[in-house]
């Protein structure tokens, strides 16, 4: 007995936050349990040898798949009820035909690129991107016979089109344009719809990493992207207690990605899938609260004399960036990058060592607020001269706002910023760490 769904389309009048409670799960197939059980099994028993043969024939493409029903259960590297229920629910937020879940965000990105970019193909990408993605694109893919070229995040369609034309003229046509928008950590926006049109004009795919805003505030598939990827560790998981990733798009593309996932073994485990199912039930509440907090915190930072610049989609002053935001985003999210005034690495570290409520840690999108130093942490693998070229300076700090009381967060930032002018505190070094019990 399993709790697998039927694969039917969701009711048209019910919204994702309502469907998160039950979609894709049938309690009558799991002893009436209101919540899906954790299917901690590596393999599944066949009712007959003939059934096993049929399941394998479908799994390996030897027989056609009926999209109206689930593939037979074989082995948890191929499929598992918890993963299938999770994928059904993830489809709802982005309006996707299909999705695949992975053991991490980087597993989702790397598996998708390996599945969809042919040997010798060129990946054009907007920079900056997350440090792990940058390393994959700059170092690992070229070692595997795929070329990469970059353009500045926020570049207009004409610039991207000209790059594609040059690549085609050199005999190495672009096969994929990869965007992370807003860019990590500068928060620069790139026009998804315009870039997707350029990609399709050149017979290339457009893939968007939507981790920083999440599906509540940006839906790339509806803007013409072919695939959207997430680090589900972040806002979708939202509790900093699991690592996961997902890719969503058409059934055709996801079937290709899932084939590589099966062979590479980048599948998410059932327990993490179950935790994500739990998290999706409160996703809108958590993300909405964090966004409201971030708007208050960003407005406060923008008027602070020790902050020279705030990078936050809700406080855009550039007209072109503002037009992109109003066209493709429905909210600013909860990630803020800001630069300290008259500061370098030493002053940034003094600030980071002085926060008390906010935790000094990488990652983002959890219930707790996190702060980090991109130049020496998440983007440390990017050469220093390239960091400066893409806007990552020694004074830049990235803050992921959580669901604490916003005034408490402001008070913590205020006392930490005050330490920048306190020489005695600087000489004393960082405050003692409370490691709990």
Shared-domain flag, residues 271 and 313: no
Question: Residue 208's beta-bridge partner residues?
Answer: 179, 228
Total domains in the fold of the chain: 2
Shared-domain flag, residues 293 and 219: no
CATH code, domain with 129: 3.40.640.10
Among the residue ranges 41-45, 220-224, 225-229, 429-433, the one predicted with the least confidence is 429-433
Shared-domain flag, residues 236 and 328: no
Residue 49 lies in a domain: no
Q: What pLDDT score does 61 carry?
A: 78
Are 121 and 176 in contact, with CB atoms under 8 Å apart?
Answer: yes
* Known catalytic residue at 291: no
User: Considering 25, 130, 230, 325, which one is annotated as catalytic?
Assistant: 130
Share of the chain above pLDDT 90, in %: 82
Q: How confident is the model at residue 12 (pLDDT cuts 50, 70, 90)?
A: low
Q: What are phi and psi of 75, to 5 degrees?
A: -160, 140
Angle between helices 406-418 and 345-352 (to 10 degrees): 130
Q: What pLDDT score does 254 carry?
A: 97
| pTM to 2 decimal places | 0.90
How much of the chain is helix, strand and coil, in % rounded to 5?
40, 15, 45
* Three-state DSSP state, 333: coil
Shared-domain flag, residues 289 and 399: yes
Shared-domain flag, residues 355 and 298: yes
* Known catalytic residue at 130: yes
Q: How do residues 108-122 score in pLDDT, each as one tens digit?
A: 999 999 999 999 899
Q: Residue 75 CA to chain centroid, in angstroms?
A: 27
Shared-domain flag, residues 312 and 338: yes
User: Considering 209, 226, 269, 412, which one is annotated as catalytic?
Assistant: 209
Residue 53 lies in a domain: no
Q: At residue 430, does pLDDT exceed 60?
A: no
Q: How do residues 180-206 score in pLDDT, each as one tens digit?
A: 999 999 999 999 999 999 999 999 999
Mean pLDDT of 356-369: 97
Shared-domain flag, residues 364 and 419: yes
Shared-domain flag, residues 329 and 218: no
Residue 4 lies in a domain: no
User: Considering 4, 89, 234, 291, which one is annotated as catalytic?
Assistant: 234
User: Considering 26, 77, 278, 296, which one is annotated as catalytic?
Assistant: 77
Share of the chain above pLDDT 70, in %: 93
* Known catalytic residue at 69: no
Mean pLDDT of 136-163: 95
Domain extent, residue 132, equals 77-275
Shared-domain flag, residues 383 and 309: yes
Shared-domain flag, residues 187 and 331: no
* Known catalytic residue at 175: no
Shared-domain flag, residues 252 and 297: no
Shared-domain flag, residues 158 and 135: yes
């Amino acid at each position: 007995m399993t709790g697998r769904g039927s694969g039917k389309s969701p009711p048209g009048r019910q919204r994702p936050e309502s469907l998160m409670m039950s979609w894709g799960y049938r309690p009558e197939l799991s002893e009436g349990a209101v919540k899906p059980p954790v299917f901690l099994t590596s393999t599944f028993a066949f009712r007959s040898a003939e059934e096993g043969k049929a399941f394998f024939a479908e799994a390996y493409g030897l027989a056609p798949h009926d999209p109206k029903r689930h593939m037979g259960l074989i082995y948890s590297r191929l499929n598992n009820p918890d993963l299938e229920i999770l994928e059904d629910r993830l489809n709802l937020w982005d309006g996707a035909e299909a999705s695949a879940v992975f053991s991490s965000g980087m597993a989702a990105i790397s598996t998708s690129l390996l599945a969809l970019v042919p040997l010798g193909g060129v990946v054009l990408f907007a920079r900056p991107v997350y440090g792990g993605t940058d390393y994959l694109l700059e170092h690992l893919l070229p070692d595997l016979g795929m070329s990469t070229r970059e353009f500045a995040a926020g570049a207009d369609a004409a610039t991207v089109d000209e790059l594609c034309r040059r690549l085609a003229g050199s005999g190495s046509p672009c096969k994929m344009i990869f965007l992370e928008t807003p860019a990590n950590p500068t928060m620069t926006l790139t026009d998804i719809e315009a870039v997707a049109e350029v990609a399709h004009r050149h017979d290339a795919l457009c893939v968007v990493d939507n981790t920083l805003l999440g599906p509540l505030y940006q839906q790339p598939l509806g803007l013409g992207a072919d695939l959207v990827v997430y680090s589900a560790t972040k806002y979708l998981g939202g509790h900093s207690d699991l690592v996961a990733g997902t890719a969503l798009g058409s059934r055709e593309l996801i079937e290709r990605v899932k084939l590589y996932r099966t062979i590479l073994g980048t599948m998410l485990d059932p327990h993490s899938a179950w935790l994500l199912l739990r998290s999706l039930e409160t996703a809108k509440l958590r993300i909405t609260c964090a966004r409201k907090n971030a708007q208050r915190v960003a407005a406060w930072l923008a008027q602070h004399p020790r902050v020279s610049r705030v990078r936050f989609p809700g406080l855009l002053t550039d007209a072109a960036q503002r037009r992109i935001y109003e066209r493709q985003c429905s909210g600013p999210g909860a990630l803020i990058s800001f630069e300290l005034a008259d500061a370098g690495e030493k002053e940034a570290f003094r600030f980071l060592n002085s926060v008390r409520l906010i935790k000094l840690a990488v990652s983002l999108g959890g219930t707790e607020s996190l702060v980090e130093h991109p130049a020496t942490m998440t983007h440390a693998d990017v050469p220093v001269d390239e960091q400066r070229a893409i806007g990552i300076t020694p004074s830049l700090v990235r803050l992921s706002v959580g669901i604490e009381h916003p005034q408490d967060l402001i008070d913590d930032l205020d006392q930490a910023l005050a330490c920048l002018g306190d020489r005695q505190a600087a000489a004393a070094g960082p405050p003692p760490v409370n490691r709990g019990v």
